[in-house]
A and B are shown apart, each in its own frame.
Chain A
């Protein structure tokens, strides 16, 4: 109720202020313009191609991050010595803005899809590893003790207790990784690329086509939001 009113007010003032010459529509555009730009973009051809490029870079990078990150995180959580060795560089990496690595990755992998996939991978693998690791470490001791009291082998304990018990934490890592992945692909494309949504955003920006630019930005936000909401729903189903 109040939220919708607030948003409605915002949209209304956004629409009206330029018309009343309170702000220059060149700088801010208007919801109506953004809407019609949106229609143009959807009807036109380039969106689908750009979206496809960005999506595949995102999917490839994130899939790799999952495949590598979850097992590594679980292992780090299980073996303390390994963890002590890997933790400091890992935490250093976590504390670094993932996108600061952008230029060096571009140096190594060029301006094609490879560098974007790498950025997505690095950005999302770290929260996945860190959270999976934390998930293993926070498994409650009584659960492990109970399993051992019933003659569980180390393998049993890992598969029947640690894995299911750390699942909620892994899901958190996945959710965090998802938002970093979306950010990563778009910004990497903005930095340097030949195609993709980020690339399109930069072109529109330099051409001062604010309305079209906003459409793309909103699309990216919606996508990111959709993903994280889905991830949250999954998280809730997994947690008890």
Chain B
């Protein structure tokens, strides 16, 4: 069974315009993602987690290695992948429903009323009644729901979430994570979720990928054997705590990257 996503020896580098030379975000990373799995990627700041997502999304070109989706190499953005951003990236001049339509417009969807479709997704993320609001009138959690709705509206095969709850406070994060899972359960799309938070990674994921400090490599891949659907109080169970211990151990015991 070919994996939905295959990452093969991925290296992502960025130019350092002032210092000269390149900054290597991801070094020779390989990962297979089976269809329908919710993969969470956890690691310290600067370990290149976002770069992995950007490479899969087709928004950065790898320095070497390749990314395959359905066995076809990724050359750029596509309808099969959609991204949710940490900074929300909503167009401030568009209303909620117009923002959710955004992807549909860009991908030139036809054959159905875009606004009607967008409204369905607005309702899906629980923002019914807010469709005419502008982003600045919404809370952080609500804005991110718009971001999620926008990504889901284009019916991608793969959902890429780059620390989507990073800008939110702790309590909102928890409830958003819970809601995200409920939404995900309906379709069980392949999802990659980048986060700082170990708890979030365990709670949401089928598989937790632990990345090292930059240049990023995979330290460990831990399958999470917890039943779905997952209630919030799962976080207090011994199994959960044990996963947390293991992951934290991997993250803190890593030898410092050589300068």
Q: Which residues of A contact B (CB under 8 A)?
A: 140, 142-143, 145-152, 156, 160-161, 164-165, 167, 240
19 interchain pairs, CB-CB under 8 A:
A142-B85, A142-B88, A143-B91, A145-B59, A145-B85, A149-B77, A149-B81, A150-B102, A150-B103, A150-B154, A151-B76, A151-B77, A151-B106, A165-B93, A167-B93, A240-B92, A240-B134, A240-B135, A240-B136
Query: What is the interface residue range for chain B against chain A?
Result: 20 to 34
Shortest beta-carbon distance from B197 to chain A in Å: 21
Q: Could you list 6 further interchain pairs (A-B, Cβ under 8 angstroms) beyond the known A142-B87, A142-B88, A150-B106?
A: A146-B89, A148-B59, A150-B154, A151-B107, A160-B91, A165-B92
Chain B residues positioned under 8 Å from A143 (CB to CB): 89, 91
Interface 0/1 of B88-119, CB less than 8 Å to A: 11111100000000110111000000000000
Q: Which residues of B contact A (CB under 8 A)?
A: 57, 59, 76-79, 81-83, 85, 87-93, 102-103, 105-107, 134-136, 154
Chain A residues positioned under 8 Å from B106 (CB to CB): 147, 150-152, 156, 160
Chain A residues positioned under 8 Å from B57 (CB to CB): 149
Asked if B89 contacts A240 (CB within 8 A), the reply is no
A145, A156, A164: the one contacting B89 at CB < 8 Å is A145
Tell me whether chain A's interface is mostly helix, strand or loop, or mixed.
Answer: helix
CA–CA, A240 and B134, complex, Å: 9
Shortest beta-carbon distance from B11 to chain A in Å: 21
Asked if A146 contacts B83 (CB within 8 A), the reply is yes
Asked if B91 contacts A149 (CB within 8 A), the reply is no
CA–CA, A140 and B90, complex, Å: 11
Asked if B107 contacts A150 (CB within 8 A), the reply is yes
Q: Which residue of A lies closest to B78 (CB)?
A: A151
Chain B residues positioned under 8 Å from A160 (CB to CB): 91, 102, 105-106
Asked if A149 contacts B82 (CB within 8 A), the reply is yes
B77, B87, B90, B134: the one contacting A150 at CB < 8 Å is B77
Chain B residues positioned under 8 Å from A240 (CB to CB): 92-93, 134-136
CA–CA, A164 and B135, complex, Å: 15
CA–CA, A143 and B102, complex, Å: 11
CA–CA, A150 and B90, complex, Å: 13
CA–CA, A145 and B50, complex, Å: 13
